Amino acid sequence: MSEACNTMLSEDDLHYLRRACALARHGLGDVSPNPPVGAVLVRGGEIVGEGWHHGAGLAHAEVEALTAAGELARGATAYVSLEPCNHHGRTGPCARALAERGIARVVFGTRDPNARAAGGAEYLRGAGIETFDAQMREAYRLIEAFAVAAVSDRPYVALKMAASVNGAIAARGGMRRWLTGEEARALVRGLRIEHDAVMVGAGTVRVDDPLLTVRPVHARRVPYRRVVVCEREPIPLDRRVLQRDPQVETVILAPRGRAELFRALEPFVRVVYADDEQGRLDLGAALRALKAMGIHSVLCEGGPTLAASLLALGLVDRLHWLIAPLLIVGAGAVSSVAGGEDFDIGGWRFDEVRALGADAYLSGRLRTEDRCSRD
């Protein structure tokens, strides 16, 4: 499987694009609602300028790289992980900045899915600058959350599930120790940092009493949101997610038909009511409410009832699946996905499979398009 679909690019082009993607990763966790972007300027086979986007309202990656290069930018090739923008927001259009500074050639990793900002490639070509779309999988993966949120009225939803080899998360009475090892838990901590919010079901809060924080909370991401889905009853007032924290905001999603039960929580947290025609919690409407609050990406950490609901409703954009080298057996074993139906993984394309210590990690998304950069 090639890492880019544009066969007109050289190995050097791919090398510098990978460098641009590596720079873009520095912005993960800081730049939302913008996408992470990195840029590298190369002239005469030497890197003359680099940059990445540090946060909304700050200089874009291309401008940072142009500033670093100074006069050496003229005649250089610009490698950018995302198509240079072509609109006036809090900063000016990067496509125009590249053209005005005399960039001779532009290679970008993937197209901008945001209609307001797209069109940079056409502008550059119109200015006589040789411009290539690499259709690079790595570049698209970096902006996957942004791409979903840019065209949807709900946030991007990533579901993290951890289970034994036979798909269980606990024996009768619950686990008495961690299911996965430290490397897997470190990966989950990193995933939390990359998303605007972490979400769990009320059952997880009642049984495990998690704190659901990120360490550190990035200055540009205050407050970090922890979301608890309550389909029936509110969570107890002594749960740790209800502790006041100036860096973290707790949001409770609840059906309006049960509002009286949740009044006691309202002094401590934000309660968002969303229900369907039967008076039950409407997860789709609840996610739309989160998007309206400025939450563009959510990491859902379960448990099994919430995971099953999100999967059944088609609301999961990416699955992070951790498998521990354990067998949990017995009549009381708890499945990682609630319900009587099997979870069919045939419709998912796992684009990352690797070992994390003794655990296995699979990450994938639904097969929705044949576009090469998204395979």
Name the residue with tokens 């997860």.
Answer: 283
Is 71 considered catalytic here? no
Q: What is the C-alpha to C-alpha distance for residues 298 and 169, in angstroms, rounded to an integer?
A: 22
C-alpha atoms less than 13 angstroms from C-alpha of 314 in its C-beta half-sphere: 4
Which listed residue (62, 64, 83, 301) is catalytic?
A: 62
Give SS3 for 254: strand
Query: Taking Cα atoms as reference points, which of 355, 368, 365, 351 lies closest to residue 136?
Result: 351
Q: Is 29 in contact with 221 (CB distance < 8 Å)?
A: yes
Residues whose CB falls within 8 Å of the CB of residue 130, separated by 6 or more in sequence, listed in order: 104, 105, 106
User: With the CA atoms of 345, 347, 352 and 358 taken in that order, what torsion angle do they form, in degrees rounded to the nearest 10?
Assistant: 0
C-alpha closest to that of 173 among 330, 367, 16: 330
Q: Is the dihedral of CA 131, 20, 9, 119 positive or negative?
A: negative
Q: How far apart are CA 80 and CA 181, in angstroms?
A: 36
CA angle 94, 100, 105 (to 5 degrees): 75
Active site residues: 62
